[in-house]
Structures are given as C-alpha cells and as structure tokens.
Structure 1
Amino acid sequence: MNPRTDWTEANLGDLTGKVAIVTGANSGLGLETSRALLKAGAHVVMTMRSEAKASSTAAALTAELDGASLETMILDLADLESVRRFSEMFHGKHSRLDLLINNAGIMMTDAQLTIDGFESQLGTNHLGHFALTGHLLDLIRATPGARVVSLSSVAHRWGFMEFGDLMFLNGSYTPRAAYGRSKLANLLFAYELQRLFDAAEVDAISVAAHPGTAGTGLADHLFNRWYLRPLKPLVFLGIQTPKQGARPSLRAATDPLAKGGDFFGPGGRKEYRGAPVLVESNAASHSEVDARKLWVESERLTGVNYESLRTSTK
C-alpha cells in the first residue's frame, strides 16, 4: 500500500467512464465526495431524500462544474421501499456500477423508529445501506474492479453488538450507544462483504473509511438546547472542513493500491484530522462471529439476501 501521507484530490486520477453512487450527497461529506468525483470525470448519481434538495444541489453543481456528468435521485435509507424503488430506477438507467459510496447517515439522534420499525440510527446507517448494496449486487458483480465504500467513524469504538436487543427496545437506548453500534455495524458489514467477495471470486472490493472530525452539520442538532449553543464554536474549533473529511472516502474509492478490507482515516492524532492513510479498527469490528450474526439478522430484517454470493462459492 502506498504509505504517502499527503494524499489529496489531485491523486484521484482520471475517472472518465466510471459510474458512482454517493448516498447523502446534498451536503457535507457526500457533497464534497461527489464534487471531487465529478471533477475527476466520473458520472455521479447523487442521492438525497427530497426533490427540493435534489433540484437545488444539481443546479448549483452544474453551474459550478462545466460539463459535469451528474444526476440526482431520491433515496431515503430509513425506508426500505424507497431503497427498492431507487434500485429499480437505477437499474433502468445504468448497466454498470463502479463505485458505491455508502456515505449517508444520521448521528446521535433521540430515540425513534424508521418507517419499517428499526431503531433509526441502525436502520439508516447500516440496514438501509445493507439493503441498497444487496439490491445493486448484480451490477457490482458485472463491473470489473467495482468498489463498495462503507463510511464508519471513530465512534465505532463506542459500539457493542447485543443481538438479543439490537434495536435498544428494552429501554437501554442512548444516542451515543446507538450511534456507536451503527458505526460498528458498518465495519462488520464491510469486512464480511469482502470475505464473501473473496469466497465467490468476485472482481470487486469492499473497503471502509472514516472522516475523523469534520464540520458537516451532522451533529448540529446536538446544540439545539439554548444552554449548549455557546459551546458549539468551542467544540468545532479546529476541526476539518467537509472537503478534508471526504478525503478518506475518496482514497478508499480510488487508490489503485487499496485492497479489500482496507480502512482509511485521517493520519493525525487520534485520527481526528490529517491526510488519509490506512488505519486500524478495533477488535470488535473484526469479529467474524458477530459479522455473520449481523449479516443473518440484516437479511431477515430487510428481506434482502446475498444468496448469489453464497451459491457461487459452492
């Protein structure tokens, strides 16, 4: 692996002819990831939850980037029917998928359920992307060298899997614990997907990334209470811009030396900021037992299975 610690968007190379999906692309990391891929020549399908956001984002980027090849599509990862509809529409327009960047997410929200009855952070951050990747698996397999990038967080270190109460329905919910669980689930998924790719000899890789700390707006709601508002400038002092925070995802998606199962994050102190480098996730994220349990439960909950990967290994 290239050990360089000065990686930037200039290292993306020419992505002309590549088709990419970036989820949660209307702002923050998703917008900056999309912008960089567009500048490198990729055709980028930017997903967002509302027509209004889609229209305004597309108009702004089209005006900014002359000749950019982009389209916007509606996708709500907290709604499995929306995931299914998106996949159906994407299949109707495209016959290949080079990059699937599972970027969208929510962070440390109050206890609530998705439309399908899942705890919202696990439902959006993990189960929605699990279903999306499964629906698009045929195109990933049909595209030589395809990549699936799963966005995790340093918060995966807070996470723990409790399969008897995956949704925190027994009253133990805290925003922090649920967020950590969802980010741990992202890594368990990424590593297990690579094991399945390897077993089925699929010409694709599954990689992961985390942004460190970046001012994306994802945590703004945590300062809604009046007595916390004065703390916001102090908390966000010195953190990375969204453009900087997107670099680990971009390196994971495009570095020609990246291998399946690699994990990229900022190379600075505590992985909070810095140029993207290979980093290590915690021991819990490498538990093949938990990964398999989560996979089985995710298939059951979403109704989306990866049977084609398993049958091709026989």
Structure 2
Amino acid sequence: MPLIQPSVPPLPPGIDLSGKTAVVTGATAGIGLEISRLLLTLKVSNLILAARNVSKGETVRQSLMSDPVVKSTNPNATIKVLKLDTENYSSVQEFASSFKTEFTDLHLLMLNAGIGTMAREFASTGHEKNIQVNYLSNALLSLALLPTLEATASKTGEPARVTWTGSRMHMRTSLTGKLALKQGEGLLKHFDEAEGIPSYARYGDSKLLGALFQLELANRYGADKVIFNNFCPGVINTGMSDVLPIYFRIPVNLVKMIMARSPQKAAWIALNAGVVVGSESHGQFLADMSVLEPCDFIKSEEGQRIQKLLWKETCAEMGGLIPLPAWMTGPN
C-alpha cells in the first residue's frame, strides 16, 4: 500500500434504503459505527446493531437516534440491539434465531466485527481466535441468515447483499515457505496447532480464508439471489491498534498518523461494496472501491488446492451446526 492513500469519493447521490433492513456486526465503534450512521442517513428503515456488549450497544443506539443528521433525514427508523459474541458459535446461532423471530426480511448483512490479536489465543470453540472471529463465525452467520436473504430477494426482485470487512493483509499469508500446508494436513487444524506462525500474520491468514470462501462460493452459487463480496478500507484511524503490544502499537499508530483515513471514509468504501457495486463483485475482493484480481497465491495451484480444502472443511464444520443447502455439499 502506498504511503499516501488515494482519495475516496463519496457515495453516489440518490441512494435510498427506505423499507430495507440491515444488520451491522461490530457496530458499536470504529468502522461499524460509521457504517451504521451512514445507513441511517441513507434512510434504512430497520437497523440491527449486533454487539458483544449489549449495554454499550444501547448507548450507541441512543447516540444514533439523537444524531441531528439522523433525526432530520430518518426520524422513524427502527434501531435494535441484539447480542452477538463472534468468539462462540452458540451466540451466532442465538443471534440468527433472535433476528428471524423479530424480522422477516434482510436486505443487507454487513459482517464487520473483527479482531487482530497477535498472541496465540483460542476461542471457546477451540479454534484460533482470529480464525474464529474473522472467518468461521462470519461463515456461520452468512449461512444461518441465507434463507432469509434469499426470501427477501424473491420478494423484492433484486439480490440481497452480504459484505465482509476484509483486508489486503490476506495477500501476506503465512501459508508460504516453511509454513506451507503439508499434503494431507487439515487447514483449520493447521491454524489451530501450527507453531511459528508470525504474530502479524494471524490476522492476514484469517482474512485469506474469508476471501477464499467467497471465491469458492461464487463458483457454486450465482449472484441472482444474494451477492457476496469483501472489501479492504485501507488504513483507518480506529482503536483497533489499542490491543496491540506497546512495541507494535507505537509504529502502527505512527503509520496511522501519517496516512490513516477517517472511519467515515471507511464507511463510504464499505457501503460501496454493500449497496453500489453489482454482480461483478460477487465473490470478489474490493481494494477500496474497485474489484481487485486475486493475488498470486490464490491463483496458484497450491492456492486453488487450499480453496477447495477450505470449502470442504467449512462445510463439515458448519454442517454440524446448521442444515446446509444441497448446493454447498454437492460436487463442483
């Protein structure tokens, strides 16, 4: 990424989300909060804030309802807080169930919740925490809400949308060189058990899995009912670096001082992926506002082998949690 990031244009005029329902995960701070605010100014009718801390979510809900711009443009919006802890599957399943109890339609699912822990940590599922939060829980929530998304598309006559917050860091995977995946080795097990994965690579590895999953999904599932994509907003001035060790936080914060974009501009990039770009983005990665060709690793023979393996393992993992559609488990 260049030292000076290119300028980001605002969203095109005329976007009107009246009558639509959107879910934003990681909605209480940073990019997620600004996505939520922007959705409200674009007149979304129902906004669900998925929050790990419900009390904080309620505080954010009140602040959004009292925002002068929101009050003037969308005073009748419904804003609902639902609990979602992406470190465990049961919370994801409970969120999906609670959502479907209260809402019949879903037009836009913005999967923004994410972490970037450098230490080797594990979620309650037993999986490495970055992989759990940034990939596996996103996959589960996407699939759990897919029937609702599809039903909504059938009603409206236009595709529903699922957009993941990705990262260019997926191009710097640890699955190269001495940490390459061995023949016969399980991919998820590799990330759970492998020794020596650089701390900075854990985040990128988790984002790589998201990019691979969506590419393989697009090979099997058309864009007529639901468009899936993922995007990188670039370097953004958020508090995500606050959890880093001091020796790493200082240089990261210096980089942010020099080149970081505002969370508001990140929201423009996010909703470009979520509501502006069309079927050409299905399964694709957007760098800022443009679809980017898959990186060399993904296009390589090994990358393609891992993409198929990830799909198989993800189907096995998700199939133990929710019923899967037949197109996921059939041959391709």
Determine if the TM-score, normalized by the shorter chain, exceeds 0.5. Answer: yes
1:301 equivalent in alignment to 2:301: no
User: Partner amino acid for 1:73?
Assistant: L
Return the offset for 1:160. Answer: 4.5
Which residue of 278, 281, 284 corresponds with 2:294? 281
How many Å apart are 1:288 and its aligned residue? 4.3
Change (3 A) 1:44 1:35: same
Instruction: Pick closer, same or farther for the CA change 1:207–1:169 going to 2, 3 Å.
Output: same
Q: Which runs of 5+ in 1 are unaligned?
A: 267-275
Deviations 1:57-104 (A, max 9, x none): 111111112213321111011110000100110110111211111111
Contact 1:150–1:190, Cα closer than 8 Å, also in 2: no
Please name the residue that 1:270 is paired with. none
Contact 2:214 2:284 in 1 (8 A): no
Asked if 1:170 corresponds to 2:187, the answer is no
2: CA distance between counterparts of 1:167 and 1:212?
25
Q: Does 1:56 align with 2:59?
A: yes
Q: 1:105-254, aligned counterparts within 5 Å? A: 105-144=114-153, 145-161=159-175, 162=181, 163-164=185-186, 165-198=189-222, 202-222=224-244, 224-225=245-246, 231=251, 233-237=253-257, 238-254=259-275
Instruction: Determine if contact 1:158/1:180 at 8 Å carries over to the other structure.
Output: yes
Return the offset for 1:313: 9.5
User: Which residue among 38, 55, 77 is the counterpart of 2:86?
Assistant: 77
Aligned pair count reads: 297
The CA deviation at 1:13 is 0.2
The 3-state SS of whatever aligns with 1:278 is strand
Change beyond 3 A, Cα 1:174–1:87: same
Distance 1:231 1:176, change over 3 A: closer
Question: Relative to 1, partners in 2 of residues 1:117 and 1:61: Cα closer, same or farther, differing over 3 Å?
Answer: same
Match of 1:18 in 2: 20
Instruction: Report the alpha carbon displacement of residue 46 of structure 1 after superposing the two structures with TM.
Output: 1.2
How far, CA to CA, are the matches of 2:118 and 2:248 in structure 1?
A: 16
Computed over aligned residues only, the root mean square deviation of the Cα atoms, in angstroms, reads 2.4
Distance, in Å, in 2 between the alignment partners of 1:209 and 1:62 is 28
Matched, 1:291 2:307: yes
Identical-residue share of aligned pairs (%) = 28
Tell me the distance in 1 between the aligned counterparts of 2:151 and 2:133.
Answer: 27
| 8 Å CA contact retained: 1:114, 1:120 | yes
Counterpart residue number, 1:269: none
State the one-letter code of the partner of 1:245. Answer: A
Q: Which runs of 5+ in 2 are unaligned?
A: 1-6, 154-158, 176-180
Q: Distance in 1 between matches of 2:149 and 2:326?
A: 12
Calculate the TM-score normalised by the size of structure 2: 0.81
* CA distance in 1 between partners of 2:30 and 2:164 (Å): 16
Residue matched to 1:263 = 285
The 8 Å contact of residues 211 and 284 in structure 2, kept in 1 or not, is answered as no
Deviates more, 1:16-25 or 1:290-299: 290-299
Per-residue deviation, 1:28: 0.8
Q: Distance in 2 between matches of 1:250 and 1:49?
A: 22
- Give me the whole-angstrom Cα distance separating, in 1, the residues matched to 2:173 and 2:296: 11
Q: 1:300, 1:196 → 2: CA distance?
A: 16
Q: Deviations over 1:130-165 (max 9, x none)?
A: 111111111121121111112210100111453534
* TM-score scaled by length of structure 1: 0.86
* 2:315–2:329 contact (8 Å) kept in structure 1: no
Partners of 2:286 and 2:13 in 1: CA distance:
15
- Secondary structure of the corresponding residue to residue 175 of structure 1: coil
Shift in Å, 1:231: 4.4
Query: How has the CA–CA distance of structure 1 residues 122 and 52 changed in structure 2, closer, same or farther, with 3 Å as cutoff?
Result: same
> Does the residue aligned with 2:240 lie in a helix, a strand or coil?
coil
Q: Which is further off, 12-21 or 171-180?
A: 171-180
- Bigger CA drift: 117-126 or 91-100? 91-100
